């Protein structure tokens, strides 16, 4: 009962039978989904299948050295490092709380993508304690 859509490495899984207004407001971007309205949660999906979801209400800082290369999102108890290429737009819509899902791309998929296409190459989710020890 699920439809698997695939285009340029974008894999979305959603029920076929009913599409809510919220789902119609989401579009594919950099292997994830962004919305036209602010979202309540953000989900980070790794190539391994692991997923972490956080409430935007727990997001208190987003920092970057260069928007195109990625950013660090700091939540109440976790720090999420997102790295890739051409991520300027993703960074901007994430700052506006409009990103629903950020999907990591496998290295083999990334090689087949256009050089100017946005690609998330790495997602690392760390507790603040782990993150502080790594510094």
Q: What is the pLDDT of residues 10-42, one digit of tens each?
A: 333 444 444 444 555 544 455 556 677 888 999
Handedness of CA 89, 93, 98, 104 (dihedral sign): positive
CA distance 82 to 39: 19
Instruction: Please report, for the chain, the start and end positions of each structural domain, with discontinuous segments joined by +.
Output: 2-134
Kindly report whether the global pTM for this prediction surpasses the value 0.85.
Answer: no
CA distance 28 to 9: 10
Distances (CA, A) of 116 to 71, 103, 119: 18, 18, 9
Residue 134, C-beta contacts closer than 8 angstroms, at least 6 positions apart: 126
Residue range 116-130, pLDDT digits in tens? 889 999 999 999 877
Residue 24, both tokens: 């119609």
Residue range 47-99, pLDDT digits in tens? 999 999 999 999 999 999 998 999 999 999 999 999 999 999 999 999 999 88
* Residue ranges with strand state E in the chain: 2-7, 10-15, 26-29, 32-35, 41-45, 51-55, 59-63, 70-75, 78-85, 99-103, 119-127
Selection from 98, 4, 92, 100 nearest residue 53 by Cα: 100
């Amino acid at each position: 009962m699920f439809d698997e859509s695939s285009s340029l490495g974008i894999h979305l899984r959603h029920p076929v039978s009913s599409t809510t207004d919220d789902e119609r407001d989401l579009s594919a971007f950099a292997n994830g989904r962004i919305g036209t309205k602010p979202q309540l949660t953000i989900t980070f999906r790794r190539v391994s299948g692991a997923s972490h979801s956080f409430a935007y209400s727990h997001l208190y800082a987003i920092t970057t050295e260069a928007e195109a290369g990625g950013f660090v999102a700091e939540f109440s108890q976790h720090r999420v490092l997102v790295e890739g290429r051409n991520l300027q737009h993703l960074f901007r819509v994430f700052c506006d709380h409009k990103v629903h899902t950020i999907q990591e791309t496998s290295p083999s998929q990334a090689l087949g993508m256009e050089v100017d296409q946005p690609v998330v190459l790495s997602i690392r989710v760390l507790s603040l304690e782990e993150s502080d020890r790594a510094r």
